Amino acid sequence: MNHKVQVSSAPLNWSVYDSNDDGTIDISDPIADFESQFSGGPDSACPAAMDFNADGRRDISDPMAALGFLFLGAPPSPLGTACRNFPGCPAGRGCP
Ligand SMILES: [Ca+2]
Ligand SMILES: [Ca+2]
């Protein structure tokens, strides 16, 4: 059996769905996302990381899926729950 491991040198710069850049995913992140999308609140410094359900769009389904994950036992983001490389984003808290 052969396994191929691809190692990327791209920096892991932002935690998936960490809207408010505090290094953790909690209820404050979908709230900030709701405010950004629907109430004129400030956007995340890494909008690319806000596609929680990884469907290529950012809409109400993202904070709803995040709330489901946090409180209803729904699956995490398909992107995972850790730091990833989001091109164009600054170095977020909690990422190397
Ligand atoms: Ca957060
Ligand atoms: Ca989405």
Write out pLDDT tens, residues 51-66.
999 999 999 999 999 9
Task: Mark the residues whose beta carbon lies below 5 A from ion ligand 2.
Answer: 51, 53, 55, 57, 62
Instruction: Report which bound ligand comes closest to the CA of 47.
Output: 2
* Count of domains forming the chain: 1
Residue 89 within any structural domain of the chain: no
Range of the domain at 57: 21-84
Angle at 78 between CA 16 and CA 62, to 5 degrees: 65
- pLDDT for 94: 86
pLDDT band at 31 (very low <50, low <70, confident <90, very high): very high
- pLDDT (0 to 100) of residue 13: 95
How much distance in Å is there from the Cα of 69 to the middle of ligand 2?
14
pLDDT at residue 96 greater than cutoff 90: no
Would you say residue 48 lies in a domain?
A: yes
Q: Give 9 Cα–ligand 1 centroid separation in angstroms.
A: 25
Report how far ligand 2's centroid is from the alpha carbon of 30 (Å). Answer: 12
Could you tell me if residue 90 is inside a domain? no
Tell me the whole-structure pTM to 2 decimals: 0.86
Residues 6+ apart with CB under 8 A from 75: 69
Residue 7 confidence class, pLDDT cut points 50, 70, 90:
low
